[in-house]
């Protein structure tokens, strides 16, 4: 059995873009399935908690105060938005480079396999069969010269 999933593998699974190997391992490994379910449940609880907190806060604060605070915090919001965008892009690039290296390794293995198969397919007649191959080649050349 392959080693357990790494935190990057779990992250890919949570974002909906898992590698096929990770999905296969998740299907086969009960420990990783339990860990993944625990992570999903934790993130779901966190998401619910944030929504509840946000709803309670918006009900508590007056609309006028909210407008004033929004005007004051607008530049900070943009800064946070750009920072989170930069982090998201950086994470995406790192995941892409990991996937790219996996694809390159698979391509190298495939190329080596193709070279091995090509060498075996194009291999000449085995030594024990060489006299027979020369005889067949000689008979074919005689037939071709007679037909001409």
Q: Tens of pLDDT along 54-110? A: 888 777 766 666 666 656 566 777 777 888 888 888 887 777 777 777 888 888 998
pLDDT value for 2: 58
Position with higher pLDDT, 122 vs 47: 47
For residue 10, the surrounding DSSP H or E stretch is helix 7-15
| 3-state class (DSSP) for residue 148 | coil
Angle at 143 between CA 137 and CA 146, to 5 degrees: 140
pLDDT band at 142 (very low <50, low <70, confident <90, very high): low
pLDDT value for 56: 83
Q: Whole-model pTM above 0.85?
A: no
| 3-state class (DSSP) for residue 36 | helix
Average pLDDT along the chain: 78
pLDDT band at 1 (very low <50, low <70, confident <90, very high): very low
What values do phi and psi take at 67, rounded to 5? -65, -45
pLDDT value for 138: 64
pLDDT value for 78: 75
Angle at 147 between CA 145 and CA 148, to 5 degrees: 65
């Amino acid at each position: 059995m392959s080693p357990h999933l790494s935190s990057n593998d779990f992250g890919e699974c949570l974002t909906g873009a898992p590698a096929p190997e990770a999905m296969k391992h998740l299907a086969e490994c009960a420990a990783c399935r339990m860990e993944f379910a625990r992570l999903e449940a934790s993130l779901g609880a966190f998401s619910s908690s944030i929504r509840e907190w946000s709803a309670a806060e918006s009900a508590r604060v007056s609309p006028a105060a909210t407008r004033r605070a929004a005007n004051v915090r607008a530049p900070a919001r943009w800064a946070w938005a750009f920072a989170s965008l930069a982090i998201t892009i950086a994470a995406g690039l790192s995941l892409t480079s990991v996937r790219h290296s996996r694809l390159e390794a698979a391509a190298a293995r495939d190329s080596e396999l193709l070279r091995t198969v090509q060498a075996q397919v194009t291999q000449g007649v085995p030594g024990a069969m060489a006299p027979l191959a020369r005889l067949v080649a000689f008979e074919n050349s005689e037939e071709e010269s007679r037909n001409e």
